[in-house]
């Protein structure tokens, strides 16, 4: 029986685990950063591998036939570790990445390279809605002239911005809900990563309607030489063509 390792934690990863043939053994690996993650079908492991070498050892030790990196588009470290591990263990690797967002008419976007650049962009901006996840809040910890509204699945831990209000919530988010958040909290600027997908895109529409500028952090590139699928269906097709 072929054994597929899915590096998961995303909606696409869960859909992929559901979509694979029942005659394929599936193990989904989750980072363990969310206290109560939504678990996919099949076997699940939680926690790191110990770097690229540890992942390569796990792949060999569990007779993995192929690896599909369906992590968040900004999970740069695990993606590069996966590329090195797959090459070391001589197994095929695919990156499953939802398409990024596209600027539309009326959008007021400023694209930046990373969270540190985003932090400099919002200095003195009044009320800033941070939707970049709790793991990146350290980049904003030195910004003391902004009132941050931070949305996170779990409560953030220091270092965090000194002036911060937290909204504990998990997507998908509705357009009406995002309109309400922007209005009720008097948001002046929205900061987001280009994670793509429909689950968190309503905030962009709500910001456009309200004339609120958006700082968009560009996603890191996929490691060189790794093929990319943009849909679960194309990932399944790749697997069928790659693993007998």
Alpha-carbon gap, residue 15 to 33, rounded angstroms: 20
Given this model, what pLDDT does residue 198 score?
80
Q: Give tens-digit pLDDT for 164-222.
A: 999 999 888 999 999 999 999 999 999 999 999 887 899 999 999 999 999 999 999 99
Q: Are 150 and 133 in contact (CB under 8 A)?
A: no
pLDDT tier, 143 (very low <50, low <70, confident <90, very high otherwise): very high
Q: List C-alpha distances in Å: 27 to 9, 30, 68.
A: 12, 10, 10
- Shared fold status for 3-99+220-242 and 109-217: yes
Q: What is the pLDDT of residues 217-243, one digit of tens each?
A: 999 999 999 999 999 999 999 999 999
CATH 3.40.50 fits 109-217, yes or no: yes
Does position 33 have pLDDT exceeding 90, yes or no?
A: no
SS3 22: coil
Spatial distance between the Cα atoms of 174 and 151, rounded to a whole number of angstroms: 14
Cβ(145)–Cβ(124) below 8 Å: yes
Domain 3-99+220-242: CATH superfamily is: NAD(P)-binding Rossmann-like Domain (3.40.50.720)
Distance CA 88, CA 125 (A): 47
Categorize the per-residue pLDDT at 37 as very low, low, confident or very high, splitting at 50, 70 and 90.
confident
Boundaries of every domain in the chain: 3-99+220-242, 109-217
- Rg of the chain (C-alpha set): 19
Which tens digits make up the pLDDT trace of 99-137?
999 999 999 999 999 999 999 999 999 999 999 988 899
């Amino acid at each position: 029986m072929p054994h597929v390792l899915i590096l998961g934690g995303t909606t696409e990863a869960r859909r992929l685990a559901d979509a694979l043939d029942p005659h394929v053994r599936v193990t989904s690996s989750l980072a363990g950063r969310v206290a109560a993650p939504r678990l996919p079908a099949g076997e699940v492991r939680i926690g790191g591998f110990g770097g690229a070498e540890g992942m390569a050892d796990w792949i060999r030790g569990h007779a993995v036939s192929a690896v599909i990196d369906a992590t968040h588009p900004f999970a740069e470290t695990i993606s590069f570790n996966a590329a090195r591990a797959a090459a070391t263990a001589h197994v095929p690797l695919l990156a499953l990445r939802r398409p990024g967002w596209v600027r539309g008419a009326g959008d007021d976007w400023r694209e930046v390279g990373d969270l540190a650049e985003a932090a400099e962009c919002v200095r003195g901006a009044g009320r800033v809605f941070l939707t970049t996840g709790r793991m990146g809040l350290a980049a904003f910890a030195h910004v003391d002239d902004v009132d941050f509204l931070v949305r996170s699945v779990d409560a953030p831990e220091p270092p965090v911005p000194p002036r911060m209000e937290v909204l504990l919530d998990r997507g998908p988010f509705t357009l009406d809900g995002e309109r309400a958040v922007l209005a009720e909290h008097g948001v002046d600027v929205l900061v987001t990563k280009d994670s793509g997908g429909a689950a968190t895109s309503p905030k962009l529409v709500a910001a456009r309607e309200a004339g609120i500028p958006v700082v968009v952090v560009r996603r890191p590139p996929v490691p060189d030489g790794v093929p990319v699928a943009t849909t679960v269906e194309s990932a399944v097709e790749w697997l069928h063509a790659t693993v007998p």
